[in-house]
C-alpha cells in the first residue's frame, strides 16, 4: 500500500523538520540538478503514492529546495529539479546521521532512517532552549523552567525525560525531602548544535527569514556552547558578540574570558568590554563553522576575539562530514 501523509497532522516546521520527515526526505533523495519527470519519480517511489509525492514536492518547492519545470511536448510534461539551495540542504541530514552514530546510540536506534531523530529534536521549539538553560548553569528543574516563556510543566517533564533517555542530559538525584534532581549536559548534548548551525547558515543564505526561529538564534547558540568551550589560560577579558540584524531574537551577548573558560554574563552585569565583534548572521555562521574572524567588524583586542572564535569553533568542529571510523 502506498504511504499517504496524514493531513490531520501539522506539516514539519522549518528546514530541520522538513529534512527530518522521512517521506519528504525520500522524495528529496530522488531529485537531482537534472529535471526529473513526474512519472519517473512515481516509478522510483512506488510505495509513496502520487498524492504523497505531490505533497512532498510542494513542501520542497515552498522553501525553494526544488523547482517545477514545464517541458515542451504534447501534452506538456511537468518535471522537477533540485535547486542550488536544495543541493546544500540535502547535505545536512547525513551530518545529523553521523552525529547519531558517533555520540548518541539511542538516537540512532530510534531513527527509522538515519538522522531523523536528531533533526526532530532540533526542530522541536523547546529542546535547544532547555539545553541552553542547562548549559549556562540552570541545573534544577525550576531553574530551567522559569526563564522559558510558554513552557508548560508537562512539556518540560516530557522533554527532560526524552533528553535523558537519548543520552543528551545526565541527571543526579540528591537525598532529601523533597529529593533534589540536577541536570548536566553530556558531550552529545554539547555537540548537537553543530547540526543546528548548518541549518542556520542555510536559512540565512537562501531564505533570509523575517524572524529567526529559536534554533536559528545565533546568540542563543553561543549561550549553549560557551560554557563547554576552552580558551588559552593566558587569555583574559570581556568581549561583546553582536549580530547585525533587526530581526535577531537577542542581538548581542557579553562574555568574560578567564582561567581558560568562557562565562556568559547576564544583562545586569555590564562591565566595560575589551573587545567587540559584529557581523550579519550569515557571516557569523561562516565564522563559527570555519573558526575565522574573516568578515567580522572587530574593535578592541583582536586576539581576544580570535581566541573566543577558535574555542567556539572547536566545540562545533567535530568532523561530521566524514563517515564514522
Residue with cell 546544500: 88
Alpha-carbon distance 33 to 15, whole Å? Answer: 19
Question: Is residue 321, in this structure, part of any structural domain at all?
Answer: no
Question: Is residue 261, in this structure, part of any structural domain at all?
Answer: yes
Does residue 95 contact residue 321 with C-beta atoms inside 8 Å? yes
Least confident of 56-65, 159-168, 224-233: 224-233
Which comes out higher in pLDDT, residue 145 or 302? 302
Residue-level pLDDT at 28: 92
Highest mean pLDDT of the ranges 6-15, 36-45, 125-134, 194-203:
36-45
Q: Are residues 285 and 264 in the same domain?
A: yes
Among 39, 68, 90, identify where a domain stops: 90
Look up the domain containing 28 and give its range.
14-90
Asked if omega into 178 is within 30° of 0 (cis), the reply is yes
Residue-level pLDDT at 270: 77
Among 90, 125, 143, identify where a domain stops: 90
Q: Are residues 27 and 119 in the same domain?
A: no
pLDDT digit string, tens, across residues 190-211: 777 767 777 777 877 777 554 4
Number of domains observed in the structure of the chain: 3
Q: Are residues 102 and 35 in the same domain?
A: no
Question: Is residue 2, in this structure, part of any structural domain at all?
Answer: no
- Is the pLDDT at 319 greater than 60? The verdict is no
Q: Are residues 30 and 124 in the same domain?
A: no
Question: Is residue 66, in this structure, part of any structural domain at all?
Answer: yes
Q: Are residues 265 and 166 in the same domain?
A: no
Q: Is the dihedral of CA 45, 47, 49, 55 positive or negative?
A: negative
Q: Are residues 179 and 257 in the same domain?
A: no
Question: Is residue 178, in this structure, part of any structural domain at all?
Answer: yes
Q: Are residues 100 and 66 in the same domain?
A: no
Buried b / exposed e along 82-106 (16+ C-beta atoms within 10 A): bbebbebbbebbebbbbbbbbbbeb
pLDDT-derived band at 275 (thresholds 50, 70, 90) equals very high
Among 137, 158, 191, identify where a domain stops: 191
pLDDT digit string, tens, across residues 278-304: 988 778 878 887 788 889 999 999 999
Q: Are residues 312 and 222 in the same domain?
A: yes
pLDDT digit string, tens, across residues 236-261: 999 999 888 766 666 788 899 999 99
Asked if omega into 75 is within 30° of 0 (cis), the reply is yes
State pTM to two decimals: 0.70
Amino acid at each position: 500500500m502506498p504511504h499517504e501523509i496524514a493531513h490531520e497532522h501539522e506539516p514539519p516546521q522549518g528546514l530541520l523538520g522538513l529534512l527530518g520527515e522521512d517521506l519528504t526526505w525520500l522524495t528529496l533523495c530522488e531529485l537531482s540538478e537534472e529535471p526529473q519527470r513526474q512519472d519517473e519519480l512515481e516509478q522510483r517511489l512506488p510505495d509513496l503514492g502520487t498524492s504523497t509525492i505531490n505533497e512532498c514536492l510542494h513542501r520542497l518547492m515552498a522553501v525553494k529546495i526544488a523547482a517545477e519545470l514545464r517541458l515542451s511536448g504534447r501534452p506538456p510534461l511537468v518535471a522537477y529539479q533540485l535547486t542550488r539551495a536544495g543541493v546544500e540542504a540535502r547535505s545536512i541530514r547525513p551530518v545529523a546521521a553521523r552525529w547519531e552514530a558517533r555520540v548518541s546510540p539511542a538516537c540512532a536506534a530510534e531513527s527509522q532512517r538515519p538522522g531523523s531523530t536528531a533533526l526532530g529534536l532540533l526542530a522541536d521549539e523547546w529542546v535547544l532552549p532547555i539545553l541552553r538553560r542547562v548549559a549556562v548553569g540552570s541545573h534544577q528543574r525550576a531553574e530551567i523552567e522559569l526563564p522559558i516563556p510558554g513552557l508548560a510543566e508537562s512539556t518540560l517533564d516530557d522533554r527532560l525525560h526524552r533528553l535523558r533517555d537519548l543520552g543528551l542530559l545526565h541527571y543526579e538525584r540528591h537525598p532529601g525531602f523533597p529529593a533534589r534532581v540536577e541536570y548536566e549536559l553530556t558531550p552529545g548534548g554539547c555537540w548537537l548544535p553543530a547540526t543546528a548551525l548548518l541549518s542556520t547558515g542555510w536559512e540565512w543564505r537562501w531564505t533570509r527569514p523575517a524572524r529567526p526561529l529559536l534554533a536559528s538564534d545565533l546568540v542563543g547558540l553561543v549561550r549553549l556552547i560557551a560554557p563547554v568551550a576552552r580558551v588559552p589560560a593566558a587569555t583574559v577579558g570581556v568581549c561583546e558578540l553582536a549580530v547585525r540584524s533587526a530581526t535577531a531574537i537577542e542581538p548581542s551577548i557579553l562574555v568574560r574570558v578567564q582561567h581558560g573558560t568562557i562565562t556568559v554574563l547576564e544583562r545586569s552585569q555590564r562591565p566595560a568590554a575589551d573587545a567587540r565583534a559584529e557581523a550579519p548572521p550569515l557571516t557569523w555562521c561562516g565564522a563559527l563553522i570555519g573558526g575565522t574572524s574573516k568578515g567580522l567588524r572587530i574593535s578592541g583586542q583582536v586576539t581576544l576575539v580570535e581566541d573566543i572564535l577558535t574555542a567556539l569553533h572547536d566545540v562545533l568542529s567535530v568532523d561530521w562530514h566524514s563517515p564514522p571510523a
